[in-house]
Amino acid sequence: MDVSIVAFVLLLALAFANGANDVSKAIATLVGSGVTGYRTAILWGTAWTVLGAVLSGVIATAMVKTFSQGLLVPGVSASPNLVVAVLVGAMLWVLVASWTGLPVSTTHALTGAIVGAGLIAFGREGLLWEGIGKKIVLPLILSPLLALALSLVLHPLTRRLVARWEGTCLCVMPTARALVMLDGQGATRTLFQTTTLGRPVMAVPAQCDRAGLNGLTVGLDSIHWCSSGLASLARGTNDAPKIAAMLLLGSAIASWPSVAAQSAAIIGVAVAMGLGSYLGGLRVTKVLAEKVTQMNHSEGLSANLTTSSLVFVSALMGLPVSTTHVSSSAIIGIGLLKGVSAVRWTTVRDMVLAWVVTLPAAAFLSALAYLLLALIV
């Protein structure tokens, strides 16, 4: 079988593993705070992840360049065996972590796999250590600290806002051609109302569906859903280009070889991430939703806002942060605001251990895969 076909199949397998492990990072707060159940949350996260992955081909080209060119010394040509070994090493580790329910970083796994296979193929001289340090290791170290700090600042503000608006919703009423606000005590106020084609405006009922109003209701639940969708969108935008870039590993060109190749890689990765998210996302979601800290509405909303803002900015700048580290650190930070005892430290210990082990584990697996391929091919 053509090695390029094998590489593309492995690319899709890695994208599947990524989806299974990472969909949890944006939807765990929906389940943990009681907004919805697991399956609905996973379906929601899957849809937005796929959309973000597709959009990444347009808005995250800097990330593609970082992973395809920023890790190997210019002039070093990566063989198909190296690409296959990197994909095998990263994929196997992420699948193992997903199966055991541990949230790990695909970014870390890819970096470790590239270093492991690269050391065997080229030695230390073939790897661009400065680029690995500045473009990957430094952002990966700083992102959990930034997420922790941002959640500590953002959550008190979000909590005050939620306390002020708890029970308040906006009701969009097409039949009445009106926008009505309902406060926590059940009182309604018409914010906007108009006539159409000279017809009289219908009277707005004094009660809403929750209190009797018949129309689309937008409240804090809706904002939480939107924040979760935004975090899933950011995750797809952040992760898809890293995976797709493996097809260009070591390439001397700065752009995709063709529009057709770009479209095939991005769409394939997006679909595979979506399948992995929906079919395999339950285990890790349960860990983040139930086993780190208990969350209410405002806490879940704060965690999602922290995750989406940091991951989006990083993706646009081409800085590969870990959605896993950002989301988990945001949830831990919110738990700390309630007191040290509010955090389940045994779960945090297992998560941190998985983060630390990811680099060497993926490096070992990819190096082993490269040696085996050298004997077979």
Q: Are residues 315 and 334 located together in one domain of the fold?
A: yes
Residues in the chain: 377
Per-residue model confidence (pLDDT) at position 205: 45
Pairwise CA distance, residues 87 & 50, whole Å: 20
Which range marks the domain in which residue 63 is found? 3-165+221-376
Do 113 and 185 fall within a single domain? no
Distances (CA, A) of 147 to 95, 186, 259, 323: 25, 37, 36, 10
Q: 53 with 104, same domain?
A: yes
CB contact at 8 A, 239 and 51: no
Question: From residue 22, how far is each of 25, 119, 289, 328 by CA, in Å?
Answer: 6, 28, 13, 11
Q: Which residues of the chain have pLDDT under 50?
A: 1, 197-216, 252-256
Q: For the chain, how many structural domains are there in total?
A: 2
Final residue before a domain boundary, out of 152, 185, 217: 217
Closest Cα to residue 240, out of 261, 258, 265, 260?
Answer: 265
d(CA 88, CA 93): 9
Alpha-carbon distance of 178 to 172, in angstroms, equals 6
- The three-state secondary structure class of 208 is coil
| Residue bearing tokens 């139930």 | 290
Cα separation, 49 vs 46, in Å, equals: 5
Q: Say if residues 337 and 118 touch (Cβ distance below 8 Å).
A: no
- Within 13 Å, how many C-alpha atoms sit on residue 258's CB side? 3
Question: Do 179 and 254 belong together in one domain?
Answer: no
Note the pTM of the prediction, 2 decimals. 0.70
**Residue 62 buriedness (CB in 10 A; 0-12 / 13-18 / 19+):** middle
Residue 218, SS3 per DSSP: strand
Residues 257 and 207 in one domain: no
Same domain, 233 and 197: no
pLDDT at 208: 47
In eight-state DSSP terms, residue 198 is T
Q: Which among 94, 132, 134, 127 is positioned nearest to 111, based on CA atoms?
A: 132
Same domain membership, residue 282 and residue 136: yes
Q: In the 8-state DSSP scheme, what is residue 23? A: T
**Do 326 and 147 touch, CB atoms closer than 8 A?**
yes
Same domain? For 144 and 238 the reply is yes
**pLDDT score, position 367:** 92
- DSSP lists the bridge partners of residue 162 as none
Answer for the pair 115, 365: CB distance below 8 angstroms, yes or no.
Answer: no
- Would you call 253 exposed, middle or buried from its count of C-beta atoms within 10 A (0-12, 13-18, 19+)? exposed
Same domain as 96, residue 196 = no
For position 275, what pLDDT does the model report?
Answer: 92
Considering the domain architecture, whether residues 10 and 96 belong to the same structural domain is answered as yes
Residue whose tokens read 């929750």? 210
What's residue 18's pLDDT?
84
pLDDT of residue 213: 47
Q: Give the phi and the psi of residue 29 in degrees, each rounded to 5.
A: -70, -30
Question: Looking at the structure, do residues 133 and 191 belong to the same domain, yes or no?
Answer: no
Question: Are 180 and 50 part of one and the same domain?
Answer: no
Q: Per the structure block, which two tokens stand in for 344?
A: 């389940």
Determine the residue type at 94.
Answer: V
